[in-house]
Structure 1
């Protein structure tokens, strides 16, 4: 039987990823048992770009293995969510009829952002989440975009991330809610001029719909 881990887990700082920009991207990653994730941060003008990826080589067989958020420290910076789009060749399994993702790949209405997290989240103050986390993330925190899966608020594991190798054949996660395979890119506006990405610390990844101690 596969081991089940806590649902919020600390990442480790990875290598700087070379990019044809003024500053290289910064990558944080996490791996434990069958779970693995990566968050890549970059700056485009005044935008912070965050790409969240489920990098596990295992299929998702239970809701507790769906990647639903990323949290990080970035002191003295407050951002405005602009858009959330499917990254690369990612796509949505089981979209609600009539509310599927259009050709632009935008799914912003299914994710939310806050810059004032505390309490059970520990050190991270910034967070991007597909789930409500006991009402920490609500309708007014969402990225711009339509409601693709009611209610019009972060809720459950809908539009959470499954691994690229997932065959979506397990009954616990197949067909009940839309799921993204396997990566989403978020854009947030308001980065200070000359900000050094090494100032982003304490990155943590969240699985399922609960807040867990870490």
Structure 2
């Protein structure tokens, strides 16, 4: 089965990797920005960050993808492909979890660090980017890696909304008369291969950036 459908598996997993990379980068940027809002001295920004996290953390990923697949076109804001809508949905959903991970890392940095930087005349953005985040990132590597692994697995949901990737291989195989069970076993093995480098990277960074507790 695998050899006869190697092109199918290859193109599907390449699309999965592309979707994951785009969503991972986007969610990291947006999640870090939201974390900065949540610790900001400006009340409006803190409120917005908290509201965003509470909404998306308590909304199923399937529902977020469903909205962008079927409800978003009715808003007639910007015409996007199914792939772009899936990537946007995954970015918005995952960013809420990235935000909480980064915020927890920020909270591990002693308050005296921020007070000392303010005494030296640093602005909030400069304190956050130059003093707080470089220290906080070391403690968030393990949970952040777990969030990205969950994102990789969540990409399979997009197959239900006309985005061809690994999660939808079984449909094509089923139409061609192949065993769906065997086909899904190969998909599971493919995801295991994709997750392994993330786990190894997590362990290496955790060991390299380990901090004394």
Q: In which range does the TM-score fall when normalised by the shorter chain?
A: under 0.3
TM-score, scaled to structure 2: 0.25
- Decide which structure has greater helix share: 2
TM-score, scaled to structure 1: 0.24
Pair member with larger Rg: 2
